[in-house]
Amino acid sequence: MKKILLSTLFIFVSYAIFAQIEHMEIEGRFNLERESGFLVTSGSYFDWKKMIKEDHHFDYSLSFTPQWQIGSSDQKHHLNSELDFVGFYQIKGKNKLLKGIRWWFVWNQTYMDYTTEQFSKKQGLNIQTNDGNTFPDLTIIGLPALWWEQDLTSFMGFRAGQLFGQSIYANNEFIDNDRTDFMATPLAGPNGVNWMDYPIGLGIQLSFWTDYFSLDIGFQDTKANGNYPDFESFFKGNFVYLAELAYHPNFGNPSKEGKYGITFSYSDHPISGPGSDYGHGLVFNMFQKFSSGIGIFSRYSNSFDQYTSLKSSFVAGLTFDNLLKGLPDRLGIAYMSSVPSDEAQRIEQGLEFYWRFTLSGIIEFTPDLQYYFKPAISREEVFILGFRCRVAI
């Protein structure tokens, strides 16, 4: 296996030297251009923000997003919120290579006396209806990402520090953030692969890229508390090792951006779920945009030997942009299927629909409906109605 990886790395680097390339890709909530791109950014505040980015190389996004959901099984409802402060400070050097510090501060607050996980269980579901679970407490305040990133050459770079794994590996533009897109956890990250039990920790990641291909390899701590950089845990050992190879076509048109990737992982640390004390993971992941404003996506995540609450999951769907003239919006439709690690539960299958649109320059509103025609625990169909409001500056 090591010989295969080294041979692939050698071939990839040899090809990259002769290709025209850009810089390390970043997706999800760390893509600051995408985070603010859905909003109208005019006025004195946004002019000032643009100025500090151009003159002082400091960029950020500050957002507050409450979510409310109600379930059909017992009419229970749930409310939580997330405050995100994401930023990047770029260090300008003599060359044009990118380098700087990136961070993400988060504050999750549950306003009920039960968490998202407990609310989902009350509905007879194994998955969680949103990714804002604060178990075991009702509040989480932390720094899940704080890393240094730097392009070493025009085709190679690295990240080091507190890494948020799912923003680097198996990321997908349409299904990685429950505060902007789909809410259910199979659609909010590669849930179903074992390392999602510990996606945050100190580590190092090395990237190689060309116009059309990328290779990411790295490792990170599997025992960290996840709320702040945990150096004590890091030096005790036990890591997850990850490698991802991806193809990024755009057919000569930025509006037709796509990604087709495969991610391998190995962990040598026991987790809370069933299985052995080590485990492998595999993720197939793709998305493709079309110039007509249509996007398609799919992701299959599978664990071997070691499991979280899921052994595997599969999701697929469509998005449609700009259905309302003059008002930025997105309609999303997705199918999800999850295999629980608890053999007493059945395979869970459902659909999710959302429609996100702007109410003003800085406010997004999203109604959301989840329909589980085959819940893992309940023997009756489950409906989850949700509403989300996001304010971002």
Q: Tell me the pLDDT tens digit for each residue of 118-133.
A: 999 999 999 999 998 8
* C-beta separation of 144 from 167 below 8 A: no
Rounded to the nearest 10 degrees, how much is the dihedral formed by the CA atoms of 134, 137, 139, 143?
-70
Q: What is the DSSP string of 147-214?
A: EEEEESSSSEEEEEEEEEGGGTSS--TTSS-TTTS--SGGGSS-BTBGGGGS-EEEEEEEEEE-SSEE
Distance (Å, whole) CA 234 – CA 91: 27
Q: 81: pLDDT confidence band, cut at 50, 70 and 90?
A: very high
Which residues have C-beta within 8 Å of that of residue 45, sequence separation ≥ 6? 393
The fold of the 2-67+81-314 domain, in CATH, is Porin (2.40.160)
* C-beta separation of 227 from 212 below 8 A: no
Look over the chain and give the mean of its residue pLDDT values, rounded to a whole number: 87
Give mean pLDDT, residues 190-203. 89
Q: Which of 40-49, 194-203, 349-358 has the highest mean predicted lDDT (pLDDT)?
A: 349-358
* C-beta separation of 178 from 78 below 8 A: no
Name the strand (E) or helix (H) holding 15: helix 2-17
Give mean pLDDT, residues 49-55. 90
Distance (Å, whole) CA 325 – CA 306: 48
Percentage of the residues of the chain whose pLDDT score is greater than 90:
64
Q: 276: pLDDT confidence band, cut at 50, 70 and 90?
A: low
Query: For residue 257, what pLDDT is reported?
Result: 92
* C-beta separation of 251 from 290 below 8 A: no
Rounded to the nearest 10 degrees, how much is the dihedral formed by the CA atoms of 26, 215, 266, 184?
40
Tell me: the pLDDT tens digits for 361-373?
A: 789 999 999 999 9
Is the pLDDT reported for residue 344 higher than 80? yes
Query: For residue 157, what pLDDT is reported?
Result: 96
* C-beta separation of 282 from 316 below 8 A: no
Which residues have C-beta within 8 Å of that of residue 265, sequence separation ≥ 6? 169, 193, 194, 195, 240, 241, 242, 243, 280, 281, 282, 283
Give residue for tokens 């770029």: 90
Is the pLDDT reported for residue 279 higher than 90? no
- Low-confidence winner among 4-8, 103-107, 215-219 (lowest mean pLDDT): 4-8
Query: For residue 194, what pLDDT is reported?
Result: 84
* C-beta separation of 89 from 56 below 8 A: no
Q: 292: pLDDT confidence band, cut at 50, 70 and 90?
A: confident
Is the pLDDT reported for residue 12 higher than 70? no
What residue type is assigned to position 188 of the chain?
Answer: A
Single out the residue of 29, 386, 350, 353 nearest to residue 180, CA to CA.
29
Query: For residue 47, what pLDDT is reported?
Result: 85
- Low-confidence winner among 287-301, 318-332, 343-357 (lowest mean pLDDT): 318-332
Give mean pLDDT, residues 151-169. 94
Q: 3: pLDDT confidence band, cut at 50, 70 and 90?
A: very low
Query: For residue 19, what pLDDT is reported?
Result: 39
Query: For residue 171, what pLDDT is reported?
Result: 93
Is the pLDDT reported for residue 360 higher than 90? no
Q: 306: pLDDT confidence band, cut at 50, 70 and 90?
A: confident
Give mean pLDDT, residues 50-78. 91
Query: For residue 369, what pLDDT is reported?
Result: 98
Q: What is the pTM of this model?
A: 0.87
Is the pLDDT reported for residue 31 higher than 80? no
Domain boundary assignment for the chain = 2-67+81-314
Distance (Å, whole) CA 65 – CA 324: 23
Single out the residue of 101, 65, 100, 102 nearest to residue 86, CA to CA.
102
- Low-confidence winner among 5-14, 28-37, 72-81, 146-155 (lowest mean pLDDT): 5-14
- Low-confidence winner among 22-26, 118-122, 331-335 (lowest mean pLDDT): 22-26
Distance (Å, whole) CA 260 – CA 22: 18
What tokens were used for 310? 């899921």
Give residue for tokens 């993971």: 281
Q: 42: pLDDT confidence band, cut at 50, 70 and 90?
A: low
C-alpha to C-alpha distances, 88 to 30, 32, 57, 69, 346, nearest whole angstrom: 9, 8, 8, 33, 43
